[in-house]
Amino acid sequence: MTPLERQGMAAKAAAYVLATAGTEPKNYALEAISSLLLQRQGDWLEANAQDLARAQAQGMRPALLDRLALTPERIAAIASSVRQVEALPDPTGRSTHTETRPNGLVISRRTVPLGVVAIIYEARPNVTVDAAVLCLKSGNACILRGGKEAIRSNQAVVEIMREALEETGLPADCVSLVQDTSRESASELMHLDQYVDVLIPRGGPGLIRTVAKEASVPVIRTGEGVCHVYIDREADPDMGAKILCNAKCSRPSVCNATECVLVHREIAGTFWPKALPLLEKYRTELRCDAPSLALLDGWGGIPAQEEDWDTEYGDCTLAVRMVDSTEEAIRFINAHGTGHSECIVTNNYFTAQRFLNEVDAAAVYVNASTRFTDGGEFGLGAEIGISTQKLHARGPMGLGELTSWKYVVYGEGQIRN
Amino acid sequence: MTPLERQGMAAKAAAYVLATAGTEPKNYALEAISSLLLQRQGDWLEANAQDLARAQAQGMRPALLDRLALTPERIAAIASSVRQVEALPDPTGRSTHTETRPNGLVISRRTVPLGVVAIIYEARPNVTVDAAVLCLKSGNACILRGGKEAIRSNQAVVEIMREALEETGLPADCVSLVQDTSRESASELMHLDQYVDVLIPRGGPGLIRTVAKEASVPVIRTGEGVCHVYIDREADPDMGAKILCNAKCSRPSVCNATECVLVHREIAGTFWPKALPLLEKYRTELRCDAPSLALLDGWGGIPAQEEDWDTEYGDCTLAVRMVDSTEEAIRFINAHGTGHSECIVTNNYFTAQRFLNEVDAAAVYVNASTRFTDGGEFGLGAEIGISTQKLHARGPMGLGELTSWKYVVYGEGQIRN
């Protein structure tokens, strides 16, 4: 048995205990984690300082260093988010579809944890706590495989969480960290079919695609976001400009940021004078198709390449395209979008309905920024990621999406004819 | 572009039309399919006769020949089952979780079709119609890849269904058949990520495992059934014997048949004299662990091998094991079961509840045969398979399990801070 197989086996055993532990012990554990994170923040900060020093020495970019860095304020925010998850309702143990069948069998469908959830992610140490507590609250054991840049920080915080679990009488193995951060360990985790019930990759598009392609365990693809805003012929140009600027520039590194605007030919002349001043504040680079370029040439537009229609920029770059109809916009979005978040700006009721019905994405918007696709904004309380696949979960994944179900059947000796 | 890529692209385009067609056109299409199946049954029977002749010439076993064979009665039953699916409620277009958020956004979660469902299956031509109509009713286009033994039958019936679709104004490409029945075509289908939203393998454990391992498209594993009956110390021996015999022998080839009985040591002496006469009627072969063998030696028991504890026999063979406690039974089931259907026979309330809570399977039973795990028996109306995974769907998959959801968001110009 390899170390990872042993870890998988231990996680599975812990998952069985956790699945039937009930809500109170899980909440006690979350409370203990929150307290111990604050009490022992010195250990976590010290480990993080080691990660930061090494990363700096290796020339990590300032933006990435900032994502890796912990501060007492950040730890306080993380500890408080653990309490928020504690306050959410337990998603397991809910019975639906309860029915007495003609033969007297009483059948109901009961929500249960998935079992063992594995998460492969990159350099943000807050994800370690986020993911672990969402899994715990939903009754799942988790195997965390973070990036090598954050290994010390992750080791320290996982140690704290395991201690808190033991303190409250739950198995420490409900939360464990893959100590080996090589590619091989990630690959082995993707094939740990016997122990892993679902694998959620969190990170850049490269990571997601590799995992989806390579893994034999069930995977939920998250966070691939080539999102669009479509400015309809009957849009309010001011509203369209504000929504587009928010969707593109308010936080361009996240997956619900928009990458491409489609503008109806008949409104382009009135829309762009409203939008350009807003986008210029963020020095937005406009990559335009030929008809848009003719309009925006003097305004810093440059020609788009074919790959621009499928690129998640992650910065203030915007692909710009002119369309002749709502139908063309919908077709383009369904061909080039990643099924994340798509928006139409329009005053026309029927155009809006058509867009909502025909666009194939996790979240479809009329007259609102794509940036709202988020577990907190959608009222799910917290999220472990935003699914861009249709299987199991779509859009923000809250606690409910970390469950499965079982059919519970009460009989009195029934046999089948 | 390969022929299969073209087929995938056509299916995707058809899926977009079907997804927004509404319930009535879908029902008209099902009605037309049912009628045309009867009208044109001559074509279907003729094609089937060709498949049968070839299979016979190649020495196919009688049991398999019977599964391949169509008769006017079987076709009438199939046509009538199409009408039954027509009568079921449309699972799409249902909004849940509707909420007005503090910022005024109105958000709801709406059920939508999955898109393109691919199904790889073996030699039963009735599956072709079953799968197609369940997909149609739930708004999904389907790509069917049946076995080479049934290719003529499948070609004939898919032609009939496509004609019926066109008659009612829906795209024929909502239903299509993979004409090439080579291994390569199956493999290509498993990697058609751009067009296939979910792949459901239906068939033997070998097929299921290969698909789960090889596919890069999302897969739902179905129908792997190593199921157990546990006869508790406090069981009614008569009830236990009847349930076991039904679970094992009433239809041993199906996935909800039981493969292994666990008998509590303290009841073995009273249970077996009740069970043996029932099992003997079916000439059941008993493969026993050492303590059970000591009891059953004179009754035709033979020693079990290690692999017997993980084998889906598909015939009247039964693995037999003695256990000392409910805990041991639960641990054994969670280690050796495939997560399909598991049963306890007991009169003790707390033992029953413990078993229901702790056994990790799609369906858990007290005092009833595992053979009830079935979409019809569970009141789902019809099923496309029985999922043994936890992701997306677990247990019998009805129309509801052939849907995903999208979040529909109505705004008035909201942007995110």
* Residue A143 backbone phi and psi in degrees, to 5: -115, 115
Q: What is the pLDDT of residue A96?
A: 87
What one-character DSSP code corresponds to residue A329? H
A208 pLDDT above the threshold of 90: no
Q: What is the pLDDT of residue A107?
A: 97
Mean pLDDT value of segment A201-228:
88
- Return the residue in A390, A394, A399, A417 with the most chain B beta carbons within 10 A, the one to mutate for interface testing: A390
Give the A:B interface size as CB pairs under 8 Å.
Answer: 204
State CA A305 to chain mean position distance.
29
Contact flag A218-B391 (C-beta cutoff 8 Å) = yes
Q: What is the pLDDT of residue B40?
A: 97
Contact flag B367-A395 (C-beta cutoff 8 Å) = no
Report B:197-216 residues touching A (Cβ under 8 A): 197-198, 212-213, 216
B115 → closest Cβ in A19, A390, A417: A390
Mean pLDDT value of segment B37-56:
97
Q: Which amino acid is at A350?
A: F
A392 pLDDT above the threshold of 90: yes
**Cα–Cα distance measured from residue B385 to residue B413, given in angstroms and rounded to the nearest whole number:** 45
A140 pLDDT above the threshold of 80: yes
Whole-angstrom CA distances from A117 to A120, A404, B69, B334 are: 10, 12, 44, 17
Q: What is the pLDDT of residue B214?
A: 87
Rg (CA), chain A: 24
Mean pLDDT value of segment A258-277:
97
B216 → closest Cβ in A212, A246, A365: A212
State CA A259 to chain mean position distance.
18
A209 pLDDT above the threshold of 90: no
In the block, which residue shows the tokens 């001043």?
Answer: A277
- A407 interaction partners in chain B (CB closer than 8 Å): 362-364, 373, 378, 394-396
Report B:1-60 residues touching A (Cβ under 8 A): 16, 19-20
A367: distance to nearest CA of chain B, Å?
5
A67 pLDDT above the threshold of 90: no
**B61 and A CB contact within 8 Å:** no
Whole-angstrom CA distances from A366 to A296, B16, B100, B143, B378 are: 26, 20, 14, 33, 40
B168 pLDDT above the threshold of 80: yes
Q: What is the pLDDT of residue B67?
A: 87
Q: Name which of B320, B336, B253 is nearest B285 in CA terms.
A: B320
Contact flag A379-B16 (C-beta cutoff 8 Å) = no
Q: What is the pLDDT of residue A381?
A: 81
**Cα–Cα distance measured from residue B171 to residue A300, given in angstroms and rounded to the nearest whole number:** 45
**B66 and A CB contact within 8 Å:** no
pLDDT in tens, A180-201: 999 999 999 999 999 999 999 9
Mean pLDDT value of segment B289-296:
95
pLDDT in tens, A27-64: 999 999 999 999 999 999 999 999 999 999 999 988 88
- According to DSSP, the residues that pair with B352 across neighbouring strands are none
Contact flag A410-B246 (C-beta cutoff 8 Å) = no
**Cα–Cα distance measured from residue A280 to residue B57, given in angstroms and rounded to the nearest whole number:** 76
B209 pLDDT above the threshold of 90: no
Contact flag A358-B334 (C-beta cutoff 8 Å) = no
* Residue B313 backbone phi and psi in degrees, to 5: -70, -45
The percent of chain B in helix, strand and coil, each rounded to the nearest 5, is 50, 20, 30
A123 pLDDT above the threshold of 80: no
- According to DSSP, the residues that pair with A286 across neighbouring strands are A301, A318
Contact flag A360-B19 (C-beta cutoff 8 Å) = yes
Q: Name which of B269, B405, B106 is nearest A365 in CA terms.
A: B106
- A327 interaction partners in chain B (CB closer than 8 Å): none
Mean pLDDT of chain B: 95
Mean pLDDT value of segment A383-387:
92
B46 pLDDT above the threshold of 80: yes
Question: Any alpha helices (H) in A168-320, and if so which ranges?
Answer: 183-190, 205-214, 237-249, 265-281, 290-296
**Cα–Cα distance measured from residue B164 to residue A160, given in angstroms and rounded to the nearest whole number:** 64
Q: What is the pLDDT of residue A316?
A: 94
- B395 interaction partners in chain A (CB closer than 8 Å): 109, 405-407
Confidence class for position B314, pLDDT limits 50, 70, 90: confident
A409 → closest Cβ in B99, B243, B365: B365
A214 pLDDT above the threshold of 80: yes
Neighbours of B408 (CB within 10 A): 20
Q: What is the pLDDT of residue B292?
A: 97
pLDDT in tens, A219-231: 998 888 999 999 9
Report B:110-129 residues touching A (Cβ under 8 A): 114-115
pLDDT in tens, B71-82: 999 999 999 999
Q: Which residues contact A16 (CB under 8 A, 6 or more apart)?
A: B334, B358, B360
Q: What is the pLDDT of residue A297?
A: 81
B174 pLDDT above the threshold of 90: yes
Mean pLDDT value of segment A82-108:
95
Contact flag B378-A407 (C-beta cutoff 8 Å) = yes
Q: What is the pLDDT of residue B96?
A: 87
pLDDT in tens, A167-181: 999 999 999 999 999
Contact flag A250-B363 (C-beta cutoff 8 Å) = no
Q: What is the pLDDT of residue A382?
A: 83
- A347 interaction partners in chain B (CB closer than 8 Å): none
Mean pLDDT of chain A: 95
Confidence class for position A343, pLDDT limits 50, 70, 90: very high
Q: Name which of B7, B196, B204 is nearest B118 in CA terms.
A: B196
pLDDT in tens, B110-131: 999 999 999 999 878 888 999 9
Q: Which residues contact B370 (CB under 8 A, 6 or more apart)?
A: B227, B229, B247, B256, B257, B258, B340, B341, B342, B343, B363
Contact flag A415-B368 (C-beta cutoff 8 Å) = yes
Mode of pairing for the β-strands spanning A403-414 and B116-121: unpaired
Mean pLDDT value of segment A239-260:
96
Confidence class for position A371, pLDDT limits 50, 70, 90: very high
B409 → closest Cβ in A358, A368, A416: A368
Confidence class for position A307, pLDDT limits 50, 70, 90: very high
Confidence class for position A207, pLDDT limits 50, 70, 90: confident
Confidence class for position B201, pLDDT limits 50, 70, 90: very high
